[in-house]
Every structure is written in C-alpha cells, then in structure tokens.
C-alpha cells in the first residue's frame, strides 16, 4: 500500500494511547487485559488485511460508490447512515475526551464549551477539504510529531522511575481469560485501516497491493504501542490503584522530566503533541462521516450562491450535538459509554466484513 495507508492506521494507534483505551484496559488489569491484548493483535491485523485487500479490488472507489453499484438502494441507505453515525461517534469521543483533558490540564480557566467550540471551528474547515488535502495534512503533522513522541516513549522506558517489578506483578494475571470490553478496546487501536471506506477514493493505482510483510510491519508497531499503552503507566505509577487515575497516560508523562529543556515537564510537550494527533484522528473520522452522509443525503434544491448547503447543515448538526454532549457528559460516563461504543464497534466491524464478502459475491456474479 502507499504510505498514506499507514498514516490512517498510525493515527488511530497513537491517538488512542491518550484517550480511553488504556483506561479501559487498566480497569481489567486483574481480569485478563493481557490476554485480550494478545488476542486483539491477530484479530486486528486480520481485519486490517481484509479491509485493505477488499478495497484493493476497487481502486479509487469509496464504500458508497461500491454499494450503490452492487446493492439495492433500500439496503444501501440505512447501512451508510449507520456507518456514518458510527464514525461520527468515534470522532465525538476523541473530541470530548480531549476537551476534558484540556480543561483539566492546560486551560482550566476556559469554559468547556469554549474549548470544544475552538476545536469545532478548525475541524469544520478541515472536514470540508478534499480527501487528498486531509491526507497531506495528516502526513505533515505526523511527520512533525512522531519523532518527538518516539523520544518521549524511549525516555519513559529508560527513566530511573520506571519500575519493572510492577510490570512483572501485572504479568501474574496473564492466565486470566480475556474479557470482551478489553478485547474490543485493544482491537480498536488497529482499526484505522477501516477509514479506507472513504479514503480509498484517493488510492487510485491498482498495483498497490497489501503484502504480508507490510502486515507484519503493522503488527510490530501495534505490538509496541499496545505494550507501551498498558505497561508503561503500570511501571511508572505502580500496579496498585493505577486504574483509579482518570488519565493514566497524562499522569505517566508528568512523571517524566526534561532536566535541561526549556520546557521542564514532559506533560506539556505531550499534551501539545496529542492535541495535534487527536485533531488528526477527529479530522479523519469526521471527514469520513461527512462524506458518507453527503453520499446519501443529496438535496439538489438546497442551494445558495451556487453552493450546495447540505454539508454545511450536516456540520451544523455536528456542532449542536457535540456542544450539547460536552455539557451533559461527565468524565466517568464518558469512559463507560466509550467502552460500550468499542464493544459495539468490534461486532459491527465483523459484520462489515460480512458485508464486504456479500459485495464481492455480487461483484463476481
């Protein structure tokens, strides 16, 4: 695959380190979180391979175009709406999590709604861009952020405060049976490839097949990030009581210090980096969501100065729902709902594989 495919996967992988995934995993620390992660790795990779392989067959086409061609309209419409809503929720979780995070750590004086609104302002511009522009933005931000994130992770592993004894202690629960929510949360890390349902419009060349070597590479990176997501907070914060921390990774990064840096507390570097990466994650998810909605909701008459207003109305709805939800949710509720969302997502993605199989059958016939 071209390099842009990796970015889609990586953004999902990195963005969720800071969000709810480690929190959900740590809640299951005595209940088989480790085995869930071990299981999630092959499961996620297989899903990743299937989706890449499927879209390789239809170069330059997104899921809406493919479904419209091979499936009846009454079936396409609700499915696309459902998927679009799923992607909208995925972005929404990132948005609200990060707004909470900013409120708590970076700008405690600002009202929550104001923080969310600033995010929404830039996101609204971003998701209206061309698909290729979204990918160029993602690439540039990632290229800037990844080296620094890598250095921070190296620092976390090598710092004297990292106690491997805690990690060993957590390893004692490796025999516990995996739980579904831990499995779903850790698989979510690998599901960035599913953004191809819209971004495949950009991949127009047929020869870019996904190979097993590339999957192996993704697997190694995924192993690294799952391991880091789960064990570094335990090693730095201790095994006991780590699940009570609301943002395990933020607290973890605050344990690190740059002795000679202009910015002494790694926390702030980390926050800004993750602000950027979360923004990318949100950008990708909502771009997919908006494009999906647009592909099925077409009202030709709704025009003003030769511009179709439908996308703007959809964005307006995005704004209203996000602002209302931000006001309504608490941090605890957010974690619980996120967990439910991941559970549902895993099931529906497996259902989506069924859909791909169905489409392939129709396409061959």
Partner 1 sequence: MPLKGKKQVNVDEAIVGILEELKLTGDVVHKPLRMDDKEIELLYIKTVVDGDQLHQLIIKPFFELGHLHHVASYLNSLPNQQEVQSQEQILLDLTKGSVLVKLNKDLLLFDVKKVNTNTVRETSVEPTILGPQYALSEDLATNINLIRQRYHKPSLTVEMHEVGSKTNQSLAVIYDQNVVKEGVLKEVNSRISELDQDIVQSTTQLQRFMNNRTRSLLPTMMATERTDRIVYNLAGGKVILLVDGSPSTVIAPAVFFDFMTSMEDNYGLYWVTKFSKFLRYLGLFACLILPGLYVAATSFNPEVFRVELALSIAGSRIGVPYPSFVEVLFMLIIMELLTEASIRLPKAVTGTATTVGGLILGTAATEAALASNIMIIIVAAVAISTFVIPINEMSYAIRVIRYILLLFASIAGLAGLALALIGILMYMTNKDSFGEPYFKIYFNQKRAETGDNPS
112 touching partner 1, by CB under 8 A: no
Instruction: Please select the residue that binds partner 1; options are 39, 171, 173, 208, rule is CB under 8 A.
Output: 208
70 touching partner 1, by CB under 8 A: no
Residue whose CB is less far from partner 1, 68 or 265: 265
Contact 23, 248 (CB under 8 A): yes
What does the alpha-carbon distance between residue 314 and residue 301 come to, in Å, rounded to a whole number? 16
Question: What is the 3-class SS of 221-286, one letter each residue?
Answer: HHHHHHHHHHHHHHHHHCCCCHHHCCCHHHHHHHCCECCCCCCCEHHHHHHHHHHHHHHHHHHHHH
244 touching partner 1, by CB under 8 A: no
3-state helix, strand, coil in the chain (%, to 5): 75, 0, 20
- Cβ of 111: how many Cβ atoms within 10 Å? 11
362 to 101, 118, 134: CA distances (angstroms): 46, 45, 32
Structure tokens, 139? 């690439």
Residue whose CB is less far from partner 1, 115 or 329: 115
106 touching partner 1, by CB under 8 A: yes
User: Binding segment for partner 1 among 65-73, 174-182, 267-275, 286-294 (CB under 8 A)?
Assistant: 267-275
Contact 37, 191 (CB under 8 A): no
Instruction: Please select the residue that binds partner 1; options are 244, 264, 302, 348, rule is CB under 8 A.
Output: 264
Instruction: Please select the residue that binds partner 1; options are 46, 75, 107, 240, rule is CB under 8 A.
Output: 107
211 touching partner 1, by CB under 8 A: no
Stretch 269-288 residues interacting with partner 1 (CB under 8 A): 272, 275-276, 279
- CB of 52 vs partner 1, minimal distance in Å: 14
Residue whose CB is less far from partner 1, 122 or 357: 122
Contact 295, 310 (CB under 8 A): no
Contact 296, 309 (CB under 8 A): no
Residue whose CB is less far from partner 1, 65 or 139: 139
Residue whose CB is less far from partner 1, 41 or 282: 282
- CB of 59 vs partner 1, minimal distance in Å: 9
262 touching partner 1, by CB under 8 A: yes
Closest by CA position to 198, among listed 105, 114, 253, 134 = 134
Instruction: Please select the residue that binds partner 1; options are 49, 180, 202, 223, rule is CB under 8 A.
Output: 202
143 touching partner 1, by CB under 8 A: yes
Contact 162, 232 (CB under 8 A): yes
Residues contributing to the site for partner 1 (CB under 8 A):
2-4, 102, 106-107, 109-110, 114-115, 118-119, 122, 125-126, 129-130, 132-134, 136-137, 139-141, 143, 202-205, 208, 261-265, 268, 272, 275-276, 279
């Amino acid at each position: 695959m071209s390099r842009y495919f990796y970015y889609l996967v990586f953004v999902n992988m990195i963005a969720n380190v800071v969000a709810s995934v480690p929190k959900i995993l740590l809640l299951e620390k005595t209940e088989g979180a480790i085995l869930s992660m071990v299981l999630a790795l092959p499961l996620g990779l297989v899903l990743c391979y299937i989706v890449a392989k499927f879209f390789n067959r239809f170069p330059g086409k997104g899921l809406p175009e493919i479904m419209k061609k091979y499936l009846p309209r009454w079936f396409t419409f609700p499915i696309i709406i459902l998927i679009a809503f799923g992607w909208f929720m995925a972005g929404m979780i990132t948005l609200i999590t990060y707004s909470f995070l900013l409120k708590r750590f970076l700008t405690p004086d600002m009202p929550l709604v104001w923080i969310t609104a600033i995010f929404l302002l830039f996101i609204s511009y971003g998701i209206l861009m061309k698909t290729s522009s979204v990918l160029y933005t993602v690439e540039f931000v990632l290229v800037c952020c990844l080296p620094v994130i890598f250095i921070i992770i190296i620092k976390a592993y090598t710092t004297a405060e990292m106690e491997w004894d805690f990690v060993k202690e957590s390893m004692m629960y490796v025999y516990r049976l995996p739980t579904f929510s831990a499995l779903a949360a850790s698989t979510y890390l690998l599901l960035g490839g599913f953004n191809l349902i819209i971004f495949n419009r950009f991949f127009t060349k047929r020869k870019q097949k996904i190979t097993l070597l590339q999957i192996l590479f993704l697997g190694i990176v995924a192993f690294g990030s799952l391991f880091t997501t789960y064990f570094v907070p335990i090693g730095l914060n201790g095994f006991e009581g780590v699940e009570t921390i609301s943002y395990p990774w933020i607290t973890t990064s605050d344990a690190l210090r740059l002795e000679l840096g202009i910015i002494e507390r790694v926390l702030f570097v980390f926050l800004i980096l993750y602000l950027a990466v979360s923004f990318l994650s949100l950008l990708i998810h909502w771009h997919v969501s908006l494009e999906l909605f647009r592909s099925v909701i077409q009202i030709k008459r709704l025009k003003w100065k030769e511009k179709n207003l439908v996308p703007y109305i959809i964005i307006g709805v995005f704004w209203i729902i996000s602002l209302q939800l931000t006001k309504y949710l608490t941090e605890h509720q957010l974690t619980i709902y996120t967990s439910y969302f991941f559970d549902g997502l895993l099931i529906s993605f497996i259902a989506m594989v069924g859909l791909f199989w169905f489409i392939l059958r129709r396409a061959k016939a």
